[in-house]
Structure 1
């Protein structure tokens, strides 16, 4: 339920040059986490929410900013050291984050279904929202599992870079899950019964 009537328009994040055509339409108020700045991104906001512990969102924002700085610094170093393959190196840290999450997204997961007194591990497709959640959760878990002497932004940056290249702990975890789903495909018919 919304406190606004149905004829109110959603708030726009894009700066419009022609405002006269929409000036007569009432607009809902924007939520706190929406912004029209160039640093706004839906994936980044989700990741900040997953990093946040005990409600300290400003610290989570700083950690993600440091992570992006570390990624960019690392990629610039790789670009300087690269010889002929300079066009293959991506410097944009947001693009690398998107690539890492896309590479880490699982397609299937195992679900326990009880049939005839026996629990079967049945492979089921993952919804898009859940797959994004799992990818970001796995990235953060892999970063938190590493050595405690290294700060989180550096560990998270290395995990993002590894996942963007299609290697590392997160990709291994996704491949293991898909391998388990493949080995249990004989029980797939239990999904519909």
Structure 2
């Protein structure tokens, strides 16, 4: 048997194993959260006889699980050290809680108006940093134009979290990452800071280049 035939046999063997490990197209995505199950109760009743994919290990329905927090941990993780990333984010939340509690105690007006929930502030910061448009380079007639195009919801959340981490990592190296990230999250949650300015600059660039929007379809 030649060397090429051996390689071809191994390739076909591995490809068949891969096909066996992938869910067929008729399988639907699982819904783990109970609140979403209650909202879609009538829709779920239509799927009683439809096969459903198994839930991943990290999915949970506890009050401590949050999709935004889990994604943030994944973006912080380097070289597969997710335990360190989770510790860094926990320290970040602790610093946010301490800062907001101190502001609440020093406030002379309504103290209930100050939000001390770190996870809520993270979600608010991500929402304030989410871009709706971005520019892409499109070449027409030998000239490259910066054309504004809309982006998907998933991409916008990714960019918001990436910009928050980039802004935290660009600061002084003498300051720890949890402290720098806590500052950026608090600034973004209140609609200010470098990340919000970066989003506004991107939207302003898309607005100035709106005359080239038709090149997206041409």
Quick check: TM above 0.5?
yes
| Correspondence 1:93-172 to 2 at 5 A | 93-172=118-197
| Correspondence 1:4-23 to 2 at 5 A | 6=27, 10=30, 12-14=32-34
Moved over 2 A (4+): 3-6, 8-16, 24-30
Query: Following the alignment from structure 2 to structure 1, what is the Cα–Cα distance between the partners of residues 62 and 184?
Result: 27
Query: Following the alignment from structure 1 to structure 2, what is the Cα–Cα distance between the partners of residues 5 and 137?
Result: 34
* Aligned: 1:2 with 2:11: no
Number of equivalent positions? 186
Number of the residue aligned with 2:113: 88
Q: Decide whether the 8 Å contact of 1:11 with 1:29 is kept in 2.
A: no
| Correspondence 1:30-109 to 2 at 5 A | 30-109=55-134
SS at match of 1:45: helix
Q: Which moved more, 1:27-36 or 1:99-108?
A: 27-36
CA shift, 1:112, in A, is 0.5
SS at match of 1:91: coil
SS at match of 2:34: coil
Query: Following the alignment from structure 2 to structure 1, what is the Cα–Cα distance between the partners of residues 193 and 29?
Result: 44
Q: Decide whether the 8 Å contact of 1:48 with 1:60 is kept in 2.
A: yes
Query: Following the alignment from structure 1 to structure 2, what is the Cα–Cα distance between the partners of residues 9 and 121?
Result: 37
Q: Decide whether the 8 Å contact of 1:110 with 1:121 is kept in 2.
A: yes
CA offsets per residue over residues 41-64 of structure 1, 9 Å max, x none? 111111110000000000001111
SS at match of 2:94: helix
Residues 11, 125 of structure 1: CA spacing in aligned structure 2 closer, same or farther, 3 A cutoff?
Answer: closer
CA offsets per residue over residues 24-78 of structure 1, 9 Å max, x none? 9887543121123221111111111000000000000111111111111110000
Query: Following the alignment from structure 1 to structure 2, what is the Cα–Cα distance between the partners of residues 12 and 59?
Result: 26
SS at match of 2:55: coil
SS at match of 1:148: coil
Query: Following the alignment from structure 2 to structure 1, what is the Cα–Cα distance between the partners of residues 29 and 180?
Result: 42
Q: Root-mean-square deviation (CA), in Å?
A: 2.3
Listed as ranges, the gaps of 5+ residues in structure 2 are 1-21, 38-44
CA shift, 1:11, in A, is 5.8
| Greater gyration radius | 2
Q: TM-score, normalised by structure 2?
A: 0.78
Query: Following the alignment from structure 1 to structure 2, what is the Cα–Cα distance between the partners of residues 114 and 176?
Result: 23
